[in-house]
Amino acid sequence: MTFNQPQTLKTIAEIIGARMVGDENFPVFGTNEIHRVKNGEIVFVNHPKYYDKALNSAATVILIDKEVDCPPGKALLVSDDPFRDFNKVNTHFTRIYNFTEELHDIEVGEGTRIHPSAVIGNEVKIGTNCLIFPNVVIGDRTVIGDNVIIQANTVLGGDAFYYRKLNGNFDRMISVGNVIIENNVEIGNNCTIDRGVTDSTIIGEGSVLDNQIQIGHDTVIGKRVLIASQTGIAGCCIIEDEVTIWGQVGMASGVRVASGTVLLAKSGVNRDLQKGTYFGPLAEEFKQYLRKEVKLKNLK
């Protein structure tokens, strides 16, 4: 999430009641999660296992639960609960509407047709010559390009599935990101595409999604990607251009799939994949899978 205008370390510290380590005038441009964080942004960390990763990331401000040596050129915000305070910063600078307030800041391009039953949030932009079918839900801050088709009952911009266990209950990370649908995308019926926690979930130009597909928060789908029905892609994945994903594929969080890859039906992806054709509950190269099957049959 990028702030409307740059803030200072002191301003952020006062908002959340954290202790500063660094120049109080240190500039802060926004917040982000570790996998998308950029220079000038805040990242949070609340477990020693991930301290080094956060401190050595592109983030220039680290919201952390212990005072540690601050890397050169960076600053710390020391908090007793970084998860809670990350939510505080995000909601301080991003208004949460949840379809409870009158529509405003809606832009719809020429030639776009929207069924009267569709529900649209605030600060939504829809390009030209789009078709929005019945019962589509478009969440706050969603950006849709030109010549996009979104079929019935699809939801764009639902909350991220991002929680922590706290006092025996699940505590939500509030999603202040959005969804971006680029030009010439087609999305089938009953799909769900979650908005980013602090950044954008992106469906690249020319991609086509079948029915009943789930795309998790902050995932980036490349250009001309084809995804068949009942595929589930977790958050923070990167699917490069011209990948083909057949039905009921399941993908773990944070994996990258190289351009031109083919994932055959019911494959499970739990690691990064180089270009190739894959199959199996723990996806392996298809030819290798077939050779293994032949060997197993010959053992009988």
| Active-site option among 35, 92, 115, 217 | 217
∠ CA(283), CA(287), CA(292), 5° rounding? 80
Cβ–Cβ under 8 Å, residues 246 and 269: no
DSSP state string for 131-144:
EE-TT-EE-TT-EE
Cβ neighbours for 70, distance < 8 A, ≥ 6 positions apart: 21, 22, 62, 76
Per the annotation, the verdict on 115 as an active-site residue is no
Cβ–Cβ under 8 Å, residues 200 and 178: yes
Cβ–Cβ under 8 Å, residues 268 and 250: yes
Q: Could you give the dihedral angle defined by the CA atoms of residues 268, 274, 277 and 281, in that order, rounded to the nearest 10 degrees?
A: -20
Cβ–Cβ under 8 Å, residues 16 and 89: yes
Distance CA 248, CA 229 (A): 7
**Exposure letters 64-97 (e unless 16+ CB within 10 A, then b):** bbeebeeeeebbbbbbebbbbbbbbbbeebbeeb
**Active-site residue set:** 217
